Structure 1
Amino acid sequence: MLILSRKKNESIIIDDNIEIVVTDIEEGKVKIGINAPKNVDIHRKEVYKLIKESNKEAAKSDRVDLGSLGDLFKK
């Protein structure tokens, strides 16, 4: 893990196109801003974990009967 010190309004650049900016520091909390391309997903870690777990559960669901699936497309 790389650990960097930054002051308010200072930033870090990642991979030439992601900027992390320290926007505020107060009462033991740091607020950051993130400038990144729209195709880059950004989540808080706890939300990211929930998304991953949800995707794993969805992948475990019962297999679909292909015959029944074909019925959905019949007019």
Structure 2
Amino acid sequence: MLVLTRRSDESIRLGEDILITVLEIRGNQVRLGIKAPRGVRIFREELYQKTLKENLLAAGIDGEVFDALKEVFKKG
């Protein structure tokens, strides 16, 4: 994992098309602005994981298999 330090109004560019800007830092919260092409899907991690788990459960994959798959993709 790459770890970067940014201050308010500073940015990080991912590739040529995605720009992430620190808009505000207040206590332990950071507000980010993200400029990306319309085709790029952006999710908060906790919502992404919840949706993924619900989709797998709906497909008949149990929680243990989900957790094992999550570990495989973390390592990759």
Aligned residues: 61
Where does structure 1 lack aligned partners over 5 or more consecutive residues? 62-75
Q: CA RMSD in A?
A: 1.4
| TM-score, normalization by structure 1 | 0.73
Which structure: greater helix fraction?
2
Cα offset for 1:32?
0.6
Cα offset for 1:11?
0.3
Runs of 4+ in 1 over 3 A off after TM superposition: none
CA offset digits 1:5-56 (Å, max 9, x no partner) = 1111110000111111000011121111111111111111110001111221
Task: Work out the percentage of aligned pairs sharing the same amino acid.
Answer: 39
User: In structure 2, what is the equivalent of residue 29 of structure 1?
Assistant: 29
Larger Rg: 1
| TM-score, normalization by structure 2 | 0.72
